[in-house]
């Protein structure tokens, strides 16, 4: 793919207080977690490995990853990058890239391994974790639910039962009471749509149980969980800034046909607005994860088949502009880009991706969208859920055998860009 160089980020201006950062999620980097996902991984690793050639054989890097993707170990998170113990080293990567923000999740199953029993050592761990960010002048963005649940909560029905929401609210409240002095930004729920679609419709996530009605119930409960947690958090202190992180692809008609245009609008509504409308009044800003656009012909999504990432996803990074403008036109909230990135193990596209994304973000800002910051997914290579360990989203590559982290060339470049844009 050509590497367009017009509108290089270094020529753009971003506000002095813009947040420049990277994101992770506990289960994807920490290693050694015990939650509903780790249980599911062990039960399903063999099946996932056997299905991989049929499910992922179209991936452009398939020949390079086939051995790993057909090995059951790929689907067991296990020790991973051992970020739980090596976080200081990983935070040094933030500093090396001149970043001033970092999004991560607090693993509920660690701090409350049994219902009502708090693990003081785990809480202390996250206290030290936050202190390590503070020493580096990095603004934390704390996620409370990023797809993983304590086994006890999942066994009692998880978010399928409305009456269970209170356990999540208690967890949220306790976290801000115990640790809240060291952060302001909170994401209650990450990508509710992905959690529901993958868990109950497409079946690549636990609980892997098909059911449209159940899916809708969980979706609505996640909106309630956000609203109630946000109120509880603000009751502790109004200085917290709370939101969800919404996965917001941009849907556009591939032709002028009436059906394509109407379908694109309907899909966008189902994807974004159905949920956002339910929570927006309890959001101080809107967290947005942007990975791709969806081109709609008739009533189907049919994306271009060339210029795809390692996962086969269409790469249209500049379209983030349209996603941001649309969301701001509708909801009038400041936007924090909580995730954006590309699976690119050979680091072929990442530099181009970031440069196009930042240009798109800047265009959106020129059109009046107040963007608070940009967090790249991800700081380090990690566990990509149902795909396991082979997709490489990291700014830093991780050698899982040695634990060694190495900033990819695109990350070294990005660090220099941030330095210019932050004017430091
Ligand atoms: C999720 C991340 C995931 C990333 C790339 C988002 O759906 O929040 O956990 O790794 O996208 O797929």
What's the alpha-carbon Rg for the chain, to the nearest Å?
20
Total residues found in the chain within this entry: 424
Region 64-91 average pLDDT = 98
In a domain, 256, yes or no: yes
SS3 of 262, please? Answer: helix
What is the edge-to-edge ordering of all strands in the sheet holding 250-253? 250-253, 293-297, 300-301
Provide the CA 324 distance to its chain's centre, in angstroms.
16
Ligand 1 site residues (CB inside 6 A) read 25, 28, 190-191, 194, 247, 289, 339, 377, 384
Q: How far is the CA of 376 from the centre of ligand 1 (A)?
A: 11
The confidence band for 385, taking pLDDT boundaries of 50, 70 and 90, is: very high
Pocket test for ligand 1, best of 59, 310, 344, 384 (most atoms within 8 A of CB): 384
- Which range of residues forms the domain containing residue 351? 9-422
Q: How many helices (H) and strands (E) does the chain have?
A: 15, 13
- Is residue 224 included in any domain, yes or no? yes
pLDDT tens per residue, range 194-241: 999 999 999 999 999 999 999 999 999 999 999 999 999 999 999 999
Flag whether pLDDT at 140 surpasses 70.
Answer: yes
What is the longest distance spanned by two Cα atoms in the chain?
A: 59
Residue 333 lies in a domain: yes
SS3 state at 266:
helix
- The per-residue pLDDT for 13 is 87
Distance 389 CA to ligand 1 centre (A): 13
Closest CA to 286 of 314, 326, 315: 326
User: Residue 10: is its pLDDT beyond 60?
Assistant: no
User: Does residue 2 lie within any of the structural domains?
Assistant: no
Residue 29 within a domain: yes
Judging by beta carbons within 10 Å of its beta carbon (0-12, 13-18, 19+), is residue 315 exposed, middle or buried?
Answer: buried
CA of 380 to the centre of ligand 1 (A): 13
pLDDT digits 0-9 by tens, 235-292:
999 999 999 999 999 999 999 999 999 999 999 999 999 999 999 999 999 999 999 9
Number of structural domains found in the chain: 1
Rounded to the nearest angstrom, the distance between the alpha carbon of 170 and the centre of ligand 1 is: 26
Q: Which atom of ligand 1 is nearest to the CA of 147?
A: 9
Mean of the per-residue pLDDT values for the chain? 96
- Atom of ligand 1 at shortest range from CA of 25: 9
Q: Which of 203, 212, 338, 226 is nearest to 270 (CA)?
A: 212
C-alpha to C-alpha distance for 109 and 249, rounded to whole angstroms = 30
Nearest residue (CA) to ligand 1, atom 3: 384
Residue 3: inside a domain, yes or no? no
Residue 327 Cα to ligand 1 midpoint, Å, equals 20
CA triplet 369, 327, 354: central angle to 5 degrees?
65
Residue 143 domain flag:
yes
Q: Work out whether strand 300-301 and strand 293-297 pair parallel, antiparallel, or are unpaired.
A: antiparallel
Give the C-alpha separation, 207 to 196, whole Å.
10
From ligand 1's centre to the CA of 146, what distance in Å?
9
Cα separation, 339 vs 360, whole angstroms: 15
Provide the 3-class DSSP secondary structure of residue 406.
Answer: strand
Closest CA to 311 of 297, 294, 325, 291: 291
Task: Tell me if 412 is assigned to some domain.
Answer: yes
CATH number of the domain within which 335 lies: 3.20.20.80
Cα(235) to ligand 1 centroid in Å equals 30
Name the residue of 312, 338, 339 to mutate for ligand 1: max ligand atoms within 8 A of Cβ: 339
Distance CA 347, CA 393 (A): 9
Tell me, in angstroms, the distance from the centre of ligand 1 to residue 26's CA: 12
Do residues 41 and 204 make contact, with C-beta atoms less than 8 angstroms apart?
A: no
Can you tell me which atom of ligand 1 is nearest the CA of 377? Answer: 4
| pTM passes above 0.85 | yes
């Amino acid at each position: 793919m050509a590497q367009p160089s017009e509108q290089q980020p270094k020529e753009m201006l971003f506000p002095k207080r813009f947040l420049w950062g990277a994101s992770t999620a506990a289960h994807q980097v920490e290693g050694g977690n015990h939650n509903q996902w780790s249980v599911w991984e062990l039960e399903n690793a063999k099946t996932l490995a056997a299905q991989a050639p049929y499910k992922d054989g179209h991936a452009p890097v398939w020949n390079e990853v086939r051995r790993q993707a057909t090995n059951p170990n790929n689907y067991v998170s296990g020790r991973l990058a051992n970020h739980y113990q090596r976080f200081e080293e990983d935070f040094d990567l933030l500093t090396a890239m001149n970043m001033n923000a970092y999004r991560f999740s607090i693993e509920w199953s660690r701090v409350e391994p049994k219902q009502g029993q708090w693990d003081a050592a785990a809480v202390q761990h996250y206290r030290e974790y936050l202190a390590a960010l503070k020493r580096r002048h990095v603004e934390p963005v704390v996620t409370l639910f990023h797809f993983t649940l304590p086994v006890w909560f999942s066994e009692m029905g998880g978010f399928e039962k409305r009456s269970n929401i209170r356990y999540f609210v208690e967890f949220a409240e306790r976290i801000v009471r115990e640790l809240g002095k060291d952060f302001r930004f909170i994401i209650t729920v990450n990508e509710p749509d992905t959690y529901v679609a993958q868990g109950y419709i497409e079946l690549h996530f636990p609980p892997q149980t098909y059911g449209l009605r159940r899916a809708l119930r969980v979706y609505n409960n996640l909106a309630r969980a956000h609203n109630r947690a946000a109120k509880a958090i603000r009751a502790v202190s109004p200085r917290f800034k709370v939101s969800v992180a919404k996965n917001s692809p941009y849907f556009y008609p591939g032709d002028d046909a009436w059906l394509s245009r109407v379908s694109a609008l309907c899909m966008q509504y189902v994807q974004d607005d159905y949920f956002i409308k339910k929570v927006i009044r309890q959001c101080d800003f809107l967290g947005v994860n942007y990975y791709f656009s969806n081109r709609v012909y008739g009533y189907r999504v049919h994306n271009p088949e060339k210029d795809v990432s390692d996962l086969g996803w269409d790469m249209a990074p500049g379209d983030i502009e349209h996603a941001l403008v649309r969301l701001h036109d509708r909801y009038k909230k400041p936007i924090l880009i909580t995730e954006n990135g590309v699976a690119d193990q050979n680091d072929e596209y990442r530099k181009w991706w970031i440069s196009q994304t930042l240009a798109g973000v800047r265009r959106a800002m020129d059109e009046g969208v107040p963007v608070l910051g940009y967090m790249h997914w991800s700081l380090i290579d990690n566990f990509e859920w149902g795909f396991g360990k082979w997709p490489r989203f990291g700014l830093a590559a991780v050698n899982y055998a040695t634990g060694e982290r190495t900033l990819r060339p695109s990350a070294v470049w990005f660090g220099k860009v941030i330095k210019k844009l932050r004017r430091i």
